[in-house]
Structure 1
């Protein structure tokens, strides 16, 4: 019969078989925060390029694939741009099933 003093036993982890509730809560909080994304911050050149892509897609009535930030995560949506509000820096994206408004601040990329 082996005990913790026999050769080949793992003494390093012998004492860590029990975790305190505080440690479990911290580990769960860390796991949850690992998947959270941050709102992007852009320079003027990148925003100008995004506006150009949005207006070109609107004029040409093209289908686009949009990646945007919402609720600490990145999401994708496909559709056509049906309206642009330059004052509020928003545009409307319509697909076969739904229509949504997006802000320029929340955009990650347009394809």
Structure 2
């Protein structure tokens, strides 16, 4: 089919090309659509996480921390260096806010 074919719609032929700004905005929109909301933990889950972190810190165990960051669920695996009231420092150079921790797995 070409532009001379009866029934073709020349009005929309130029819409095949997109400006770079439009492509960038479409990609940003797709990333926003993949974002998740942060779950709310109850007190029992928070106590369980605290117990696991204390146990791993005192026994020098490797932990895998599932945490929330900017709309995504991430994991970080390593040994605890420092456990603060606001953050957790791992030996891999990762720092995780304690409020963003969703679960802790001990190896």
Match of 1:101 among 73, 95, 107: 95
How far the C-alpha of 1:47 sits from its partner, in A, is 0.5
> With structure 1 as the length reference, what TM-score do the two structures score?
0.63
SS at match of 1:39: coil
SS at match of 2:37: coil
How far the C-alpha of 1:51 sits from its partner, in A, is 0.5
Question: Quick check: which one's helix share is greater?
Answer: 2
CA offsets per residue over residues 51-105 of structure 1, 9 Å max, x none? 001000001101111111112111111100111113xx3221112xxx1221221
- 1:1-111 alignment to 2 at 5 Å? 28=26, 29=29, 31-86=30-85, 89-95=86-92, 99-111=93-105
How many residue pairs match? The answer is 83
Structure 2 portions without partners, runs of 5+: 1-11, 16-21
| Equivalent pair of 2:41/2:102 in contact (CA under 8 Å) | no
Structure 1 portions without partners, runs of 5+: 1-17
> With structure 2 as the length reference, what TM-score do the two structures score?
0.65
